[in-house]
């Protein structure tokens, strides 16, 4: 397929490279041109403007946040240009409200829109093993499937309304933060009674909580290894805020998410926003006087 890829950050770069490896023609654009130019040696075609990337059989976006996505796609007028892509696959983690807005503006422009946020950190993206949550017109998802297959291990479909995929993504990220908060509190309790965090978390993540999220973040907490970030704490805070906004709009109480927001704000207030999400455990330790 002839694909445009916009956004070459820590997640976008390996995703774009996997499309190239799968044999697709990939035009790449990034706000920092050097990031796009660096992929030329790997077979991608750097382009100078978003408009040059937003055309062809499909365009894929993995832009940094909602503001960047709106600025480039909507305010940048890409949906008004004469040459538009056959479909747009949006993989950024954004609010449910923005996903609904994007679906509407794409509908008016005649460009099928598929929300396809992903679960997985940069190392998982490099392996092409992301779990991709897809929602949008069924035929558009089917047309995008070769691209999704190149970037992920499995595509999970959630119906024809794009915002559904974003609701699932925010719910999942809230649960990830909850897991980290729980391990941080458990580690603080163990340490207060003379049990090293590494011993407690090794037991828990090898038995009753033997899942990737617990194992990966538990290992980081046990080793107090918070840099470089795999998933930044500030991003976790942003996603919990988005989950709470979606919950308020639908009148869904989420008391646990409110607790998580306050713990994340504590971490941000103490300058830990650029650390890995596992650094949320520092808040529990600080509260316990450790």
List residues with catalytic annotation: 169
Cα dihedral 78, 96, 62, 132, rounded to 10, equals -130
Q: Which helix (H) or strand (E) holds 58?
A: strand 58-61
Separation between Cα atoms, residue 218 and residue 224, nearest integer Å: 10
Separation between Cα atoms, residue 212 and residue 249, nearest integer Å: 31
Handedness of CA 131, 135, 138, 141 (dihedral sign): negative
Question: Which tokens hold the place of 233?
Answer: 């704490």
Q: What is the largest CA-CA distance in the chain?
A: 67
Determine the 3-state secondary structure of 239 from DSSP.
helix
Where would I find the H helices in the chain?
Answer: 12-21, 33-37, 50-53, 66-69, 96-109, 122-126, 138-151, 163-192, 197-206, 212-222, 233-249, 255-269, 280-287
Separation between Cα atoms, residue 197 and residue 223, nearest integer Å: 8
């Amino acid at each position: 397929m002839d694909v445009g890829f916009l956004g070459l950050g820590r997640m976008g770069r390996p995703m774009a490279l996997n499309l190239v490896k799968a044999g697709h023609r990939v035009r790449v654009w990034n706000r920092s041109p050097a990031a796009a130019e660096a992929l030329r040696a790997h077979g991608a075609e750097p382009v100078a403007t978003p408009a040059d990337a937003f055309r062809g059989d499909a365009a894929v976006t993995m832009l940094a946040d909602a503001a960047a996505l709106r600025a480039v796609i909507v305010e940048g007028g890409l949906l008004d240009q004469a040459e538009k892509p056959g479909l747009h696959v949006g993989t950024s983690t954004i609010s449910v409200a923005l996903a609904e807005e994007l679906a509407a503006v794409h509908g008016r422009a005649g460009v099928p829109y598929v929300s396809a946020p992903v679960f997985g950190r940069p190392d998982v993206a490099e392996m092409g093993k992301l779990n991709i949550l897809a929602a949008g017109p069924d035929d558009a998802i089917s047309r995008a499937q070769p691209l999704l297959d190149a970037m992920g291990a499995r595509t999970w479909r959630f119906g024809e309304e794009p915002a559904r995929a974003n609701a699932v993504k925010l719910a999942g990220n809230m649960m990830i933060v909850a897991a980290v908060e729980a391990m941080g509190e458990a580690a603080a309790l163990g340490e207060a009674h003379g049990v090293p965090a590494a011993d407690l978390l090794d037991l828990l993540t090898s038995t009753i909580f033997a899942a990737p999220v617990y194992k990966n973040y538990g290992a980081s907490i046990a080793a107090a290894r918070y840099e470089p970030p795999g998933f930044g704490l500030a991003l976790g805070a942003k996603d919990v805020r988005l989950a709470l906004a979606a919950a308020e709009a639908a009148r869904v109480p989420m008391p646990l998410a409110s607790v998580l927001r306050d713990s994340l704000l504590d971490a941000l207030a103490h300058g830990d926003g650029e650390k890995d999400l596992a650094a949320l455990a520092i808040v529990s330790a600080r509260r316990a006087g450790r």
